[in-house]
Structure 1
Amino acid sequence: MEFGVWLAMIGLFLAGGLTPGPAVMLVVSSSLRYGFRPAMLPAIGVSTANLVWISLAAGGAAAIAAQFPAGFLVLKLAGLCFIGWLAIGLIRARPRDLRLSREAMPKRAALFGKGLGLQLANPNALVFFGALLPGYFDASRPLILQVAIAIATITFTEMLGLAFYAAGADRLARSFATPSFAKWFNRGAAALMFSSAAFAVWATSR
């Protein structure tokens, strides 16, 4: 992988990590409800799921998707349903004054699993990993080294972006969150989470 290609990959996935989408909204809502450190568990789950996506991209997932468009549409719609379920959970979350107390943190495995499941089901990932990432691999160079570079680069940029949002949400909760704010934030985050995934399904199905 040439240095210029690597820099372009950093730019692409750093921008993706800083763009509000389902993963960002999950981490932000977790930070508001439980605090910064617990919110990094779904972030780690998202980055773990990225390993699967990177492997699929290196294995030619885009070509498989072109061969079986109906099958991939079903997978994307199933992913949209999963994200819709997470969004409904946000809307139904009981608002509380986050300045006074945080919700009891669920099991670590549950938070990690939410991030892992969301990213595996995330139609947005098809845009970055299925359509864009394969173009960064050079077939004339060793693939294993390129995959290792992609894993390190994408994991770092993803975690950096999610940590940025988690820290901001944690500060927001301590500073001026109210029950009303939490209620409307959760609704807004749920709407953005679902609409972002729905747009990805629409954009990759035309």
Structure 2
Amino acid sequence: MTLTTALLFCIVALAAIATPGPTVLLALSNGSRRGVRGALPGMFGAMLSDFVLVGAVALGLGALLAASEFWFSMLKWVGAAYLAWLGIRMLRSKGGSFERPAEGAAAAPGSGRQVFFKSFLVAVTNPKGYLFCSALLPQFIDPASPQGMQYAIIAVLFAGLDMAVMLVYAFVGAKAMQLLTARAARWIDRTCGAMLLALAGSLAFYRRATP
């Protein structure tokens, strides 16, 4: 992979990542409720999912989803149900999560793990991510060179860009929490919840492109 190819991939990937999707919406919500530091586990979960997606494409799993209606539908409905569940929970937020702990207080046990797995599961159960990566990534792979290292480079670049975008969203959420009242900040959660429900609906009606 040449430097020019890598830069072009970064531009295309950044445009796709910056578009509000489930993981960046969770970063925004987590930032508003927990601060940037508290949102980090979710970002690491999303980054791990990036490596899973790129690895799946390298192994041909994305092509399997594109070819198999059964496995595509299974993953689609699991992903849509999980997004809907998260969206409903965020819509029903009563604001208790916006009570910031005292300075130096420890986070609730297991909360970091929960944030991590929420973001990870949101990404790995979305078949659109596999299909998108299957269509995009091979365009930046040189078939005449070893492909394993090229996919590894793409995975690192993709995860790094994803992390940078999520940090921006989490920072915006954290600043909003500082500037707004608890009631106003609560609407960040509810807005993100409504958007996750909308994404769940769009995923439920999403269809594979037939050859």
Q: TM-score over 0.5 for the alignment?
A: yes
Query: TM-score band, normalised by the shorter chain?
Result: 0.7 to 0.9
1:45 maps to 45
Runs of 4+ aligned residues of structure 1 deviating over 4 Å after TM superposition are none
Cα distance in 1 between the residues matched to 2:197 and 2:157? 27
1:125 maps to 129
1:152 CA drift (Å):
1.4
**Contact map agreement 1:97 1:177 (CA 8 A) in 2:** no
Count of residue pairs the alignment pairs up: 203
Answering whether residue 65 of structure 2 is matched by residue 61 of structure 1, we say no
Specify the SS of the correspondent of 1:86.
helix
**Contact map agreement 2:36 2:174 (CA 8 A) in 1:** yes
1:199 maps to 202
1:8 CA drift (Å):
2.1
**Contact map agreement 2:44 2:116 (CA 8 A) in 1:** yes
The two structures have a TM-score, normalised by structure 2, of 0.86
2:100 maps to 102
Query: What RMSD, in angstroms, separates the aligned Cα atoms of the two structures?
Result: 2.2
**Contact map agreement 1:123 1:197 (CA 8 A) in 2:** no
Specify the SS of the correspondent of 1:35.
helix
1:26 maps to 26
1:173 maps to 177
**Contact map agreement 2:57 2:133 (CA 8 A) in 1:** yes
What letter corresponds to residue 202 of structure 2 in structure 1? F
Cα distance in 2 between the residues matched to 1:157 and 1:44? 12
The two structures have a TM-score, normalised by structure 1, of 0.88
Deviates more, 1:26-35 or 1:60-69: 60-69
2:76 maps to 76
1:166 CA drift (Å):
0.5
Cα distance in 2 between the residues matched to 1:11 and 1:45? 23
**Contact map agreement 2:32 2:188 (CA 8 A) in 1:** no
Q: What stretches of structure 2 of length at least 5 have no aligned partner?
A: none
What letter corresponds to residue 79 of structure 2 in structure 1? G
1:9 maps to 9
**Contact map agreement 1:42 1:111 (CA 8 A) in 2:** yes
2:191 maps to 188
Cα distance in 2 between the residues matched to 1:154 and 1:203? 24
Correspondent of 2:168 among 164, 173, 176: 164
